[in-house]
Amino acid sequence: MKVSYHGHSVVKIETNGTNIFIDPFITGNGMTDLKADDTKADVILLTHGHNDHVGDTIDIAKRNDALVVAPFELGTYLGWQGLNVHQMHIGGAFEFGFGKVKLTQAFHGSSYTEEENKRIVYTGMPAGILFSAEGKTIYHAGDTGLFSDMKLIGEQDDIDLAFLPIGDNFTMGPEDALIAAKWLGAKQVVPIHYNTFPVIEQDPEAFAIKVSSGKGLVLKAGEELELV
Protein backbone atom coordinates (compact mmCIF):
# COMPACT_ATOMS: atom_id res chain seq x y z
CA MET A 1 0.00 0.00 0.00
CA LYS A 2 1.33 3.43 -0.96
CA VAL A 3 0.25 6.56 0.91
CA SER A 4 1.11 10.12 -0.05
CA TYR A 5 0.38 13.57 1.34
CA HIS A 6 -0.57 16.53 -0.85
CA GLY A 7 -0.93 19.56 1.40
CA HIS A 8 -3.62 20.72 3.83
CA SER A 9 -5.60 17.50 4.55
CA VAL A 10 -5.26 15.81 1.16
CA VAL A 11 -4.12 12.19 1.35
CA LYS A 12 -3.84 9.65 -1.46
CA ILE A 13 -3.90 5.89 -0.91
CA GLU A 14 -3.00 3.38 -3.60
CA THR A 15 -4.13 -0.14 -2.76
CA ASN A 16 -5.50 -3.17 -4.59
CA GLY A 17 -5.21 -1.30 -7.89
CA THR A 18 -7.41 1.54 -6.59
CA ASN A 19 -6.54 5.23 -6.31
CA ILE A 20 -8.25 6.73 -3.26
CA PHE A 21 -8.23 10.39 -2.26
CA ILE A 22 -9.24 11.75 1.13
CA ASP A 23 -10.53 15.36 1.19
CA PRO A 24 -9.21 16.46 -2.26
CA PHE A 25 -8.95 20.22 -1.72
CA ILE A 26 -6.70 21.19 -4.65
CA THR A 27 -7.97 24.38 -6.30
CA GLY A 28 -7.09 27.22 -3.94
CA ASN A 29 -4.70 25.06 -1.92
CA GLY A 30 -1.34 26.79 -2.12
CA MET A 31 0.36 23.89 -0.31
CA THR A 32 -0.47 21.15 -2.82
CA ASP A 33 1.58 19.68 -5.65
CA LEU A 34 -1.53 18.48 -7.49
CA LYS A 35 -3.56 19.93 -10.34
CA ALA A 36 -7.26 19.22 -10.19
CA ASP A 37 -7.59 18.66 -13.93
CA ASP A 38 -4.90 15.95 -13.87
CA THR A 39 -6.08 14.14 -10.73
CA LYS A 40 -7.26 10.58 -11.32
CA ALA A 41 -9.32 8.96 -8.61
CA ASP A 42 -11.35 5.78 -8.35
CA VAL A 43 -12.65 6.59 -4.87
CA ILE A 44 -12.98 9.78 -2.83
CA LEU A 45 -13.42 9.62 0.95
CA LEU A 46 -14.74 12.75 2.65
CA THR A 47 -14.58 13.67 6.32
CA HIS A 48 -17.00 16.63 6.26
CA GLY A 49 -18.60 19.29 4.13
CA HIS A 50 -16.32 22.31 4.49
CA ASN A 51 -15.08 23.64 1.16
CA ASP A 52 -11.41 23.11 2.09
CA HIS A 53 -12.13 19.38 2.36
CA VAL A 54 -14.79 18.68 -0.27
CA GLY A 55 -12.60 20.81 -2.53
CA ASP A 56 -12.60 19.51 -6.11
CA THR A 57 -14.63 16.40 -5.35
CA ILE A 58 -17.49 17.16 -7.76
CA ASP A 59 -15.25 17.81 -10.78
CA ILE A 60 -12.86 14.93 -10.05
CA ALA A 61 -15.65 12.43 -9.37
CA LYS A 62 -17.59 13.34 -12.51
CA ARG A 63 -14.52 13.21 -14.74
CA ASN A 64 -13.35 9.84 -13.34
CA ASP A 65 -16.75 8.30 -12.54
CA ALA A 66 -15.39 7.90 -9.03
CA LEU A 67 -17.25 6.55 -6.03
CA VAL A 68 -17.66 9.12 -3.26
CA VAL A 69 -17.93 7.85 0.33
CA ALA A 70 -19.25 10.47 2.73
CA PRO A 71 -21.33 11.04 5.87
CA PHE A 72 -25.04 10.71 5.09
CA GLU A 73 -26.13 14.33 4.74
CA LEU A 74 -23.04 15.34 2.78
CA GLY A 75 -23.48 12.28 0.59
CA THR A 76 -27.09 13.24 -0.08
CA TYR A 77 -26.04 16.74 -1.14
CA LEU A 78 -23.35 15.37 -3.46
CA GLY A 79 -25.76 12.80 -4.88
CA TRP A 80 -27.98 15.70 -5.90
CA GLN A 81 -24.99 17.02 -7.87
CA GLY A 82 -25.02 13.81 -9.91
CA LEU A 83 -22.25 11.90 -8.13
CA ASN A 84 -22.09 8.18 -7.39
CA VAL A 85 -22.26 8.19 -3.60
CA HIS A 86 -22.07 5.65 -0.80
CA GLN A 87 -23.47 7.18 2.37
CA MET A 88 -22.26 6.22 5.84
CA HIS A 89 -22.40 7.56 9.36
CA ILE A 90 -20.35 7.70 12.55
CA GLY A 91 -19.61 4.30 14.07
CA GLY A 92 -20.56 2.51 10.86
CA ALA A 93 -18.17 0.45 8.76
CA PHE A 94 -18.42 -1.02 5.27
CA GLU A 95 -16.23 -3.54 3.47
CA PHE A 96 -15.60 -2.35 -0.09
CA GLY A 97 -13.66 -4.26 -2.72
CA PHE A 98 -10.70 -1.91 -2.18
CA GLY A 99 -10.73 -1.99 1.64
CA LYS A 100 -12.73 -1.33 4.79
CA VAL A 101 -13.95 2.16 5.72
CA LYS A 102 -15.19 3.09 9.19
CA LEU A 103 -16.27 6.57 10.24
CA THR A 104 -15.30 7.84 13.67
CA GLN A 105 -16.58 10.88 15.47
CA ALA A 106 -14.90 14.26 15.08
CA PHE A 107 -15.62 17.46 16.99
CA HIS A 108 -16.00 20.19 14.41
CA GLY A 109 -18.66 21.61 12.08
CA SER A 110 -19.81 20.46 8.66
CA SER A 111 -21.39 22.65 6.01
CA TYR A 112 -20.89 23.48 2.35
CA THR A 113 -20.70 27.14 1.39
CA GLU A 114 -22.32 28.15 -1.91
CA GLU A 115 -20.56 31.47 -2.29
CA GLU A 116 -22.43 32.53 -5.40
CA ASN A 117 -25.73 32.22 -3.52
CA LYS A 118 -24.33 33.40 -0.17
CA ARG A 119 -25.80 30.21 1.27
CA ILE A 120 -24.47 27.72 3.79
CA VAL A 121 -25.78 24.16 3.38
CA TYR A 122 -25.70 21.99 6.50
CA THR A 123 -24.05 18.66 5.74
CA GLY A 124 -24.50 16.67 8.93
CA MET A 125 -21.91 15.51 11.42
CA PRO A 126 -18.17 15.68 10.68
CA ALA A 127 -16.17 12.46 10.86
CA GLY A 128 -12.76 10.89 10.98
CA ILE A 129 -11.87 7.91 8.79
CA LEU A 130 -10.36 4.54 9.66
CA PHE A 131 -9.25 2.84 6.44
CA SER A 132 -7.99 -0.75 6.43
CA ALA A 133 -6.53 -2.77 3.56
CA GLU A 134 -3.65 -5.18 2.99
CA GLY A 135 -3.42 -5.77 6.74
CA LYS A 136 -2.73 -2.08 7.46
CA THR A 137 -4.88 0.59 9.12
CA ILE A 138 -4.77 4.33 8.45
CA TYR A 139 -6.54 6.91 10.61
CA HIS A 140 -7.38 10.31 9.10
CA ALA A 141 -8.81 12.43 11.90
CA GLY A 142 -10.36 15.02 9.60
CA ASP A 143 -10.91 18.35 11.30
CA THR A 144 -11.35 17.87 15.03
CA GLY A 145 -10.53 19.02 18.47
CA LEU A 146 -9.07 16.60 20.99
CA PHE A 147 -11.57 14.12 22.42
CA SER A 148 -11.05 11.36 24.97
CA ASP A 149 -12.53 8.60 22.80
CA MET A 150 -9.31 8.73 20.81
CA LYS A 151 -8.08 6.45 23.59
CA LEU A 152 -10.78 3.96 22.63
CA ILE A 153 -9.92 4.23 18.93
CA GLY A 154 -6.31 3.43 19.82
CA GLU A 155 -7.37 0.48 21.96
CA GLN A 156 -9.68 -1.00 19.35
CA ASP A 157 -7.48 -0.50 16.29
CA ASP A 158 -3.84 -1.23 15.60
CA ILE A 159 -3.11 1.98 13.69
CA ASP A 160 -0.11 1.96 11.38
CA LEU A 161 -0.37 5.57 10.23
CA ALA A 162 -2.32 8.52 11.68
CA PHE A 163 -2.92 11.89 10.04
CA LEU A 164 -3.63 14.51 12.70
CA PRO A 165 -4.48 18.21 12.28
CA ILE A 166 -2.16 20.60 14.12
CA GLY A 167 -3.19 24.00 12.76
CA ASP A 168 -5.06 25.23 15.84
CA ASN A 169 -7.81 27.88 15.58
CA PHE A 170 -10.17 25.55 13.66
CA THR A 171 -8.81 22.21 14.94
CA MET A 172 -6.43 20.78 17.48
CA GLY A 173 -3.20 22.66 17.92
CA PRO A 174 0.16 20.92 18.28
CA GLU A 175 -0.13 20.42 22.04
CA ASP A 176 -3.49 18.67 21.84
CA ALA A 177 -2.39 16.72 18.77
CA LEU A 178 0.52 15.32 20.78
CA ILE A 179 -1.95 14.03 23.36
CA ALA A 180 -4.03 12.54 20.54
CA ALA A 181 -0.95 10.80 19.14
CA LYS A 182 -0.22 9.27 22.55
CA TRP A 183 -3.78 8.03 22.98
CA LEU A 184 -3.97 6.58 19.48
CA GLY A 185 -0.63 4.80 19.73
CA ALA A 186 -0.09 4.88 15.97
CA LYS A 187 3.21 3.58 14.65
CA GLN A 188 3.66 6.72 12.53
CA VAL A 189 2.02 10.15 12.94
CA VAL A 190 1.89 12.74 10.15
CA PRO A 191 0.72 16.33 10.83
CA ILE A 192 -1.88 17.84 8.48
CA HIS A 193 -4.08 20.95 8.22
CA TYR A 194 -1.38 23.55 8.82
CA ASN A 195 0.24 26.50 6.97
CA THR A 196 -2.41 26.64 4.24
CA PHE A 197 -3.71 29.92 5.66
CA PRO A 198 -1.98 32.45 7.97
CA VAL A 199 -4.33 31.64 10.86
CA ILE A 200 -3.15 27.99 10.97
CA GLU A 201 0.60 28.52 10.61
CA GLN A 202 2.57 25.97 12.65
CA ASP A 203 5.99 24.28 12.79
CA PRO A 204 5.35 20.66 11.75
CA GLU A 205 8.95 19.60 12.42
CA ALA A 206 8.72 20.78 16.02
CA PHE A 207 5.54 18.75 16.41
CA ALA A 208 7.02 15.61 14.84
CA ILE A 209 10.06 15.68 17.12
CA LYS A 210 7.82 15.70 20.20
CA VAL A 211 5.70 12.69 19.24
CA SER A 212 6.45 10.26 22.06
CA SER A 213 4.54 7.19 20.91
CA GLY A 214 5.41 5.92 17.47
CA LYS A 215 7.30 8.09 15.01
CA GLY A 216 6.46 11.66 14.09
CA LEU A 217 6.98 12.24 10.39
CA VAL A 218 6.58 15.38 8.29
CA LEU A 219 5.66 14.74 4.68
CA LYS A 220 6.11 17.44 2.07
CA ALA A 221 3.48 17.72 -0.64
CA GLY A 222 3.91 14.77 -2.97
CA GLU A 223 6.02 12.68 -0.60
CA GLU A 224 5.05 9.03 -0.34
CA LEU A 225 5.22 6.24 2.22
CA GLU A 226 4.95 2.54 1.53
CA LEU A 227 3.25 0.48 4.23
CA VAL A 228 4.48 -3.10 4.10
pLDDT at 173 (0 to 100): 98
Q: What is the pLDDT along the chain (228 residues), one digit of tens a residue?
A: 999 999 999 999 999 899 999 999 999 999 999 999 999 999 999 999 999 999 999 999 999 999 999 999 999 999 999 999 999 999 999 999 999 999 999 999 999 999 999 999 999 999 999 999 999 999 999 999 999 999 999 999 999 999 999 999 999 999 999 999 999 999 999 999 999 999 999 999 999 999 998 899 999 999 999 998
Helices (H), 17-124: 51-54, 57-64, 72-80
pLDDT at 203 (0 to 100): 98
| Overall size of the chain counted in residues | 228
CA 17, CA 208: separation in Å to the nearest integer? Answer: 31
Decide if 38 contacts 62 (C-beta within 8 A). Answer: no
Domains in the chain, ordered, with CATH?
A: 2-219 (3.60.15.10)
CA 107, CA 227: separation in Å to the nearest integer? Answer: 28
Decide if 187 contacts 225 (C-beta within 8 A). Answer: no
Sign of CA dihedral 6, 129, 54, 119: negative
For residue 49, give every residue at least 6 positions away whose Cβ sits within 8 Å of its Cβ, in sequence order, or none: 73, 74, 77, 110, 111, 112, 121, 122, 123, 124, 126
pLDDT at 213 (0 to 100): 81
User: What is the reported pTM?
Assistant: 0.97
pLDDT at 23 (0 to 100): 98
